[in-house]
Amino acid sequence: MKRFLCLLAVCLPMLALPAQAKPISWVDFQVPYESLKYALERDIETSEQEKHLSWIDILAVAACRTGGKCGLASVRKAAQDLSGDASPEELLGSLYQYYSYYHQAYTAALGGLVGSYAIEKDGVWMPTYGLKAFSPIAAGYGYRHCDDFGVSRSFGFQRKHLGHDMMGSLGTPIVAVEGGVVEAMGWNRYGGWRVGIRSFDGKRYYYYAHLQKDQPFAPGLAEGDLVQAGDLIGFMGRTGYSDKENVNNIETVHLHFGMELIFDESQKECNSEIWIDVYQIVRLLASHTSSLAKTEEGWKRLYPYRDLDQEPWSPMTA
């Protein structure tokens, strides 16, 4: 029954989408951290106003004007323009022909990161609106990182690095950035022990790799499970680069974190997968970390979490 519900969670949003002759096949995500942060702040501060400015709308307008570069000045201008009465089509003129592409691309990359959620503190559920996705590294654990997307890799064959490496300490708790369904779990010769989680809307596939030897996964986690954003899914390690399971063949302890965009199911598990550079997104998520504690009963979240956009919820029944 649990897996049936998981299947529905992924498939129903896809069935609701209008048919498209040709899905997006390429995305070069170049939005800087400062622009993401500014657009996010405008989204949050106007969330209860009559004219709510969606950060995706802001970024899409800016991208049309800059060819996807989205510098901070262009994002500020887009937000200012959208706060008026003019529509994106009126604001962009001939550039509006690119709006659908950027809006779809940014919705796929960012659509599940902002919205309504609630956390429990001292027995009281506190609903709020804002950044509801979490850093993949649990609160209180340090890490180092740089923008290494596209760097050459040679194990198995010459290829590009399609993820983001976050270096830290062995055993660092790794959490789900966003809620979704565990689609893949186990050993991969490149990623070692890894977990793959599909977002509830089906558009994002999160890949967490090189997890810890001997104890890679959160206790009880299994393929088909539903996870909430911020839930423990595993522990940082250096497994991988081996056909033999449970082998440490990576020199540096780190998490390989990747995001694949899926506009059509034919793009999954193929030679034309769409992986994007998530460095700037990871920088944004650093401001929102999930607090965990290890107790005699095992790991637990200090502040239980509910995604209010994904499930029926009320403080009386939670």
Q: Work out how many domains the chain is built from and give that number.
A: 2
Looking at the structure, do residues 149 and 265 belong to the same domain, yes or no? Answer: yes
Which range, of 14-28, 97-111, 199-213, 246-260, averages the lowest pLDDT? 14-28
Instruction: Determine the pLDDT at residue 4.
Output: 41
What confidence category does residue 198 fall into, taking pLDDT thresholds of 50, 70 and 90?
A: very high
Domain assignment of residue 315, yes or no:
no
Task: Indicate if 175 and 37 belong to the same structural domain.
Answer: no
The residue ranking higher by pLDDT, 240 or 153, is: 240
Report the pLDDT value the prediction gives residue 160, as an integer from 0 to 100: 80
Residue ranges making up the domain that contains 45 = 26-110
User: Do residues 280 and 170 share a domain?
Assistant: yes
Judge contact between 290 and 117, C-beta under 8 A: no
pLDDT (0 to 100) of residue 7: 46
- Is position 129 within any domain? no
Does one domain contain both 171 and 275? Answer: yes
Q: Is a pLDDT exceeding 50 seen at residue 189? A: yes
Q: Establish if 226 belongs to a structural domain.
A: yes
**20 inside domain:** no
**pLDDT (tens digit per residue) in 269-299:** 777 899 999 999 999 999 999 999 999 889 9
Q: Which of 66, 85, 110 is the last residue of a domain?
A: 110
CB atoms within 10 A of CB 67: 12
Residues 106 and 157 in one domain: no
Give the whole-angstrom CA distance, residue 208 versus residue 259: 9
Instruction: Using the predicted structure, report yes or no on whether residue 10 has a pLDDT greater than 50.
Output: no
pLDDT exceeds cutoff 90 at 162: no
Does some domain include residue 97?
yes
Domain CATH number, residue 301: 2.70.70.10
Confidence at residue 271, expressed as pLDDT on a 0 to 100 scale: 77
Helix (H) or strand (E) holding 57: helix 55-66
Percent of the chain residues topping a pLDDT of 70: 88
The pLDDT assigned to 150 comes to: 75
130 domain-assigned = no
With bands split at pLDDT 50, 70 and 90, how would you rate the model's confidence at 268? confident
How much is the mean pLDDT over the chain? 90
Residues 155 and 80 in one domain: no
Indicate if the pLDDT at residue 311 is higher than 70. Answer: no
125 assigned to some structural domain: no
- 155 pLDDT higher than 90: no
pLDDT of residue 90: 98
Same domain, 34 and 151: no
Q: How confident is the model at residue 9 (pLDDT cuts 50, 70, 90)?
A: very low
Pair (173, 296) in one structural domain: yes
Which of 110, 136, 162 delimits the end of a domain?
110
pLDDT at position 239 over 60: yes
* Residues 202/261, Cβ–Cβ less than 8 Å: no
Q: Please say which residue of 110, 131, 163 terminates a domain.
A: 110
Asked if residue 153 and residue 87 are part of one domain, the reply reads: no
Exposure letters 85-113 (e unless 16+ CB within 10 A, then b): eeebeebbeebeebbebbbbbbbbbbbbb
Same domain, 106 and 225: no
- Over residues 37-78, the pLDDT tens digits come to 999 999 999 999 999 999 999 999 999 999 999 999 999 999
Q: Has this prediction a pTM greater than 0.85?
A: yes
Q: What is the pLDDT of residue 190?
A: 92
3-state secondary structure of 16: helix
Are 188 and 285 part of one and the same domain? yes
If asked whether residues 168 and 286 sit together in one domain, one would say yes
